[in-house]
Amino acid sequence: MNRENIYFPHLAQITRILPQIEDHKLFGLTFVDKSMKDNFSYRPGQFVELSIIGTGEAPISISSSPTRPGTVELCVRRVGRVTNALYNLERDDLVGIRGPYGNGFPVEELEGNNLLLVAGGLGMAPLRSLLWYTLDNRERFEDVTLMYGAKIPDEMLFKYELLSLLDRPDLRCMLTVDKDEEGIWPAHIGVVTTLFDQIEIDPSTTYAAVCGPPVMYRFVLEELLKRNLSKDRILMSLERKMKCGVGKCGHCAIGYKYTCLDGPIFTYWDAINLPELI
Amino acid sequence: MEHRTLAGDGLPALIDELIKKGMRVIAPTQRNGDLAFGQVSSSAEAVLDYFLCKRSAKEIVFPRTEAILGFDRSGGEVKVEPPSMQFPETVVVGARPCDAASLPILDHIFTWDCDDELFTRRREATTVIGLTCTTADNFCFCTSVGLSPDNTAGSDILLTQLEDGQFFVEVVTDKGEKLAAELGELFREGGDESARQKAGEKARALVTRSVDVSKAKGWLDDHFDDEMWESWMTCLGCGACTFVCPTCHCFDIVDEVQGLSGHRCKNWDACTFWHFTVHASGHNPRDVQYKRYRQRILHKFRYYKDRFGVTLCTGCGRCSRHCPVGIDIAEVLETAAGSAAS
């Protein structure tokens, strides 16, 4: 549309709105321009700048998998100005999208390995992309394990979709909640790190992909290191206030890295060398 | 490239000739009581016997606010329009070397990975005639960052006034040569190179402040958590330093609405503002002011150098001159360099 202007968004139509948990909805977006719709491709772990024309832009990670083209899915928490404006829109309304931005998960490097996905809270939003990418290319990966923890059952994203994966033979799907006061939860109870006792990690053939709130990292990283997983096999999707998405505006600069280009996927090795990263 | 000479009273004629040729001329001029870079419609509006403008020359290629798209929702449906990417031929007359030098430094950030054509097209359309300094104050420290009051970096032509009042016309780039050729009649062929040397030495002697920036960087490289940073907590987070700075380039993207239409704008922002890194969730990775001030210093003297090979500072001293609580950037560097020594 406008290749010279790197800040110019493409218009997309809201084609689906699926409520998840309180103040979290999954928006399905389809580009108005047919060639954008057909050709928009991305890597799991990448993000877009979502804009509500007249309100502004916000960086949102992509929750759908590139293996299912046509619709881009964004799981959006209603929290700021832009996301509140998005919640006021309805099906068929138009939004703007720039991207995809960021490095995404190094999926080619992960092929042939065991994968351990560890998510906490809203951290499932970017990992869902990697999860479906992996399941849709199942033969390219060895054992795949998902560990996802939410505070209570009502705060688990993609709950029914994930519960339906519990019986899948080619995925070890471990879902947990910190508390279940109503006694309705059919799976594990306890913080996500309590799941680690149930699995074996072969450090030579395993990659871990971790995403969650800042408090979660410390405990999960500790568990992974205890099991001898090397720091460059621990991948983390980190949050920063990415504004331009193209390494110019400075908002997401950490050390000499720009989260929007060098990240948002960083290894734990990067994190040790970049203060302020987590 | 062939050097030339301009008569001592030739600057006004040069400006008027450029305007006559249809170029947009930007020079230091009075704007609301301050000296600022602005378009002049005749040489009478230009002030060239000056020290520095309050704000830097960066806004010529990176305006404080510029539209990146126009939008209109009056018809019910959203319509978006890209802005014009055509920029007029512009000549900046009289930029001081610390202002001119910021342009090639900014090229790195606006062209790495992908080009920000709002910047690059303005830059391509702009020719810079620099002017060697004749005054300096105690905040100036350009000679500590590899520049000098007679440095040609970023200038396409550099004018240096010689002892006899004439200007030595140093043609630095092809763009400068093209402009000099067009202004042929104003310039005399050849120039007194030894007088130019002498004037340069005199200009360099004006800058008495000296900091060992590479020693300071050595300290900055491994003292992220040093307690010195907390002692700079006096920083108010007002952002004045970043707005007057020739190399600070952080910006925000903001929708500015009038009724049902408006513009999405690229507006200057500052890493020293508390909201610069705050997430929608409320989490702020730089939660207190000293961390934000530390980011400004480290970005300038460590990170930008590590990433792009150049220091993000021209030593103009504006940030120190305008800081409401008197933080002096050279003093911060002196402290860092001093700590490295001890």
Question: pLDDT digits over A52-107, tens only?
Answer: 999 999 999 999 999 999 999 999 999 999 999 999 999 999 999 999 999 999 99
Counted domains in chain B: 2
Same domain, B174 and B239: no
Quickly list H helices, chain B.
Answer: 11-20, 97-100, 102-111, 117-124, 174-182, 193-205, 213-221, 228-231, 240-244, 289-298, 304-308, 318-322, 329-341
Q: What is the pLDDT of residues B233-279, one digit of tens each?
A: 799 999 999 999 999 999 999 999 999 999 999 999 999 999 999 98
CA–CA separation, B290 vs B151, rounded Å?
34
> What per-residue confidence (pLDDT) applies to B280?
82
Q: Helices then strands (H, E): number in chain A?
A: 8, 15
Q: Among A101, A128, A148, where does a domain finish?
A: A101
Chain A residues within 8 Å of chain B (Cβ atoms)? 2, 4-9, 11, 51, 53-58, 77, 79-80, 83, 94, 96, 214, 239-241, 243-244, 246-251, 253-256, 261, 275-276
Predicted complex ipTM exceeds 0.85: yes
In angstroms, how far apart are the furthest CA atoms of chain B?
70
| Min distance A161 CA to chain B CA atoms (Å) | 25
Residue A3 pLDDT level (bands cut at 50, 70, 90) = low
Same domain, A86 and A115: no
| Min distance B2 CA to chain A CA atoms (Å) | 36
Residue A214 within any structural domain of the chain? yes
Beta-carbon pairs below 8 A across chains A and B: 123
- CA-nearest residue to B303 within chain A is A256
| Min distance B309 CA to chain A CA atoms (Å) | 11
Considering only CB atoms, B113 lies closest to which of A249, A255, A261, namely A261
Residue A171 within any structural domain of the chain? yes
Tell me whether residue B220 is exposed, middle or buried, using C-beta atoms within 10 angstroms of its C-beta: 0 to 12, 13 to 18, 19 or more. buried
What SS3 class is residue B268? strand
Average pLDDT in chain A: 95
Q: Per the CB < 8 Å rule, is B114 touching A246? A: yes
Q: Among B159, B181, B205, where does a domain finish?
A: B205
Same domain, A111 and A233: yes
Q: Per the CB < 8 Å rule, is A246 touching B82? A: no
DSSP category for residue B122: H
Same domain, B184 and B320: no
Share in percent of chain B as helix, strand, coil (round to 5):
35, 20, 40
Q: What are the distances in angstroms from CA B182 to CA B25, B137, B177, B187?
A: 15, 36, 9, 10
pTM for this structure?
0.94
- How open is the CA angle A214-A216-A219, to the nearest 5 degrees? 125
Q: Residue B297: which domain range?
A: 213-341
Task: Answer whether B283 touches A (CB < 8 Å).
Answer: yes
| Min distance A139 CA to chain B CA atoms (Å) | 34
Task: Answer whether B114 touches A (CB < 8 Å).
Answer: yes
Considering only CB atoms, A55 lies closest to which of B69, B224, B255, namely B255
Q: What is the pLDDT of residues A20-43, one digit of tens each?
A: 999 999 999 999 999 999 999 999
Smallest CA-to-CA distance from A145 within A126, A125, A130, A161 is with A130
CA–CA separation, A8 vs B114, rounded Å?
14
Q: Residue A115: which domain range?
A: 107-237
Residue A278 pLDDT level (bands cut at 50, 70, 90) = confident
> What per-residue confidence (pLDDT) applies to A275?
81
B83: chain A residues, CB-CB within 8 Å:
5
Same domain, A39 and A146: no
Q: Among A101, A125, A140, where does a domain finish?
A: A101
In angstroms, how far apart are the furthest CA atoms of chain A?
57
The answer to whether the CB of B150 falls within 8 A of the CB of B162 is no
Token pair 């998405």 is found at A245
CA–CA separation, B294 vs B225, rounded Å?
10
The answer to whether the CB of A14 falls within 8 A of the CB of A90 is yes
Counted domains in chain A: 2
Same domain, B74 and B101: yes
Neighbouring CB atoms inside 10 A of A228's CB total 11
Same domain, A138 and A171: yes
Same domain, B229 and B89: no
Considering only CB atoms, B303 lies closest to which of A54, A77, A256, namely A256
Give the CATH number, domain containing residue A67: 2.40.30.10
Length of chain A: 278
